Amino acid sequence: MTASLSLGIDIGGTFTDLVILDPRDGRAVIWKESTTPDDPARGALEGTRQVLARAGVRPEEIGRVVHATTLFTNALIERKGAPTGLLTTAGFADVLEIARERKYELYDLFLEMPRPLVPRPWRREVRERLAPDGGVEIPLDLDGALREVEVLVAAGVESLAIVLLHAYANPVHERRVAEAVERHFPSLSLSLSSEIAPEIREYPRASTTVANAYVRPLAEAYLERLEAALRRAGIPGGLFLMLSNGGLTHVAEAKRLPVQLLESGPAAGALAGAWFGRNAGLDRVLAFDMGGTTAKLALVDGGEPLVAWGFEAARERRFLRGSGLPIQIATVELIEIGAGGGSIARRSDLGTLQVGPESSGAQPGPACYGRGGEQPTVTDADLALGYLNADFFLGGAMRIDAGAADAALGRLAAALEVEPARAAFGVHDVVNENMAGAARVAIAERGRVPQEYALLATGGAAPVHAWHVARKLGVKRVVCPPGAGAGSTIGMLMAPARVDRVASFNAALEGADLAAAERLFAGLEQEALAVLRETGARQAGQVRRLADMRYIGQGSEITVPMPERLEAATVRRAFDAAYRALFVRTPPGAAAQFVALRLSVTAPMPGAGGRLELPRHPAGAARKGSRPVFFPEAGGMLPTPVFDRYALEVGAQIIGPAVFEESESTFIIGPGATARVLPDGSILAEIA
């Protein structure tokens, strides 16, 4: 039998989601397994056994496995990567310490800045220097470089980042050092800035390269163990990894550049929002993914999530810009909030209600899980408000202790000196306002208004909260796609292969050697297509050429899609249009310049389906009953019909309030809503 099925594995903070997909007809089976924080792979493998049994599928029928993990991000946050050294140009050993010399909290006298991943004794210098145009100013002292590396190896360094000045313009010195180190110290893992982040700005380039070096030995060991475990389980298919840019790559590329995987899980949620949005015929979507630990929001315009060319990892203040390590990679543009089902609610020092960012995680989890958790969480509040069904949590596969939730909320209410019902809705409402506030800022920064978007909810908790978040934003349409509780995993299985590459090209537009730019683009494309072929993509790929540009004298740039043929006039029109779309006006008479050239190539993956078909239930069983559900617009608890969403026929219309239950999540709509089932199985609710 041909191994034709796809298996997706997404390890989250509370649950590990697994989906088996048959790309031939879209049939899929979903399973949620509790994450095992001590060894995430253990929960993933147990979940694999469970989903195979549930689907009635033999391991040898799995043709490919797609995986997203937070393991490498956690290694940065917890400082549990490999002992890492830095070899840099003489005089630049303290770049990681100096950083940007900018405080992210201006008036905090006790501000904690991100600690460098490489301690000062392991940052060694080598005599050499390149000019900004790549010309050699000081020849490389190769013998001196090897002596410095020898000191690092003797000190126990296992991974080395090589970051030489202006290597983005000319990699010759970095490559000579790397070749010599490989000969003399073959067991040392190497990361070169000219391969990891060949862009201007010394601190972000060094930070990105060091982060890659820091997690690379961990990534190599983890992926090799996972591949071996899958083979032992009898699964013959290849392993593919979700990237932060919303695409897939093969294992060898993931081992070489694991820094590209740091945002793989959140990116999958945004990709799911885009895929489901296209299927529902929606052009602009606010993809809202909320699980047990965090909530993520992503803007989807024209059916594609927005992509940024950098983000921050391991923030000292998790949700505060400037407090983390800059990472220069292509990543889906995300807003992350410390709001998940496991977010802990407490009385603040000011006597107000505070929810998150601390989470109860998978162990012990919310109080209602009955695993020893005693602090009230968002899930406990949702249960008390009638949004969740204690007898149908994970389709009845998980026992829920409603009494423990009530007791935890009772203690919170006593601390706040309010009624328990008010405390429960306060928890729910604070979380919703946090998410709505973040969404308002993100949409405004793009020059848009919320009413232009539909809110599309994925993750175990997002469908429960989407209705009230939409009301706060003024959004009129809310969508809950099929399989919403495992939306990120479904997004992974539908993802294309993707490769992003960048090359430095610092030149004023007027008089620029555009033929040289064309040659750079051609080289980037050749390199990207080689990676795509190794990933097994079905087609040559869709190529997008972009450039980082700015007006001369500006300190930052924007990324601009390039015309098919590079001509000064058409490039200038494209830049001015992109600038005007962000900032409304352009400075009169200002000259423009290139900073870098970027290339993005995507191609469909074998085994990626074009549709999703989840098991249907008899139509006669659509109405499951009724229960009291809290709606503030109704002044309290309201008798609300409960539906089995997979028993609803396409085209069915339901007037709110209503609860739609599935094994992995629950979708809530309030009074005044009109919901209908779309052809793809999504439920679209419109707010009157």
Tens digit of each residue's pLDDT (9 = 90 or more) over 265-277: 888 888 889 999 9
User: Is residue 1 over pLDDT 50?
Assistant: no
- Give all domains of the chain, ordered by start, each with its CATH number: 5-75+220-261 (3.30.420.40), 343-428 (no CATH), 496-603 (no CATH), 619-687 (no CATH)
Listed ranges 36-50, 89-103, 140-154; the one with the highest mean pLDDT: 140-154
User: Is residue 649 over pLDDT 90?
Assistant: yes
**How confident is the model at residue 319, as a pLDDT?**
61
What secondary structure letter does DSSP report for 115? P
User: Is residue 651 over pLDDT 50?
Assistant: yes
**How confident is the model at residue 78, as a pLDDT?**
81
Q: Output the six-digit token pair for 252.
A: 């060898």
- Mean predicted confidence (pLDDT) in 307-313: 88
* Phi, psi (rounded to 5 degrees) for 230: -65, -40
- Mean predicted confidence (pLDDT) in 392-410: 86
**How confident is the model at residue 523, as a pLDDT?**
96
The pLDDT confidence band at residue 192, using thresholds 50, 70 and 90, is very high
- Mean predicted confidence (pLDDT) in 189-218: 96
Tens digit of each residue's pLDDT (9 = 90 or more) over 52-84: 999 999 999 999 999 988 788 878 888 889 999
| Calpha distance 673→434 (Å, rounded) | 23
Q: Which residues contact 686 (CB under 8 A, 6 or more apart)?
A: 476, 477, 478, 673, 674, 675
* Residue 246 backbone zone (phi > 0: left; psi -120 to 50: alpha; other: beta): left
- Mean predicted confidence (pLDDT) in 528-535: 90
Range 614-621 contact pairs with CB under 8 angstroms and sequence separation of 24 or more:
614/27, 614/28, 614/30, 614/482, 614/483, 614/646, 614/681, 615/29, 615/646, 616/646, 616/647, 617/644, 617/646, 617/647, 618/647, 619/647, 619/648, 619/649, 620/647, 621/647
pTM of the predicted model as reported, rounded to 2 decimal places:
0.87
| Contact present, 131 and 123 (Cβ < 8 Å) | no
314 vs 76, 219, 223, 321, CA distance in Å? 6, 17, 22, 11
Instruction: Using alpha carbons, select from 427, 345, 407 the residue that is nearest to residue 630.
Output: 427
Average pLDDT, the chain: 90
What whole-number percentage of the chain has pLDDT above 90?
61
Q: Which residues contact 574 (CB under 8 A, 6 or more apart)?
A: 560, 561, 562, 563
**How confident is the model at residue 3, as a pLDDT?**
65
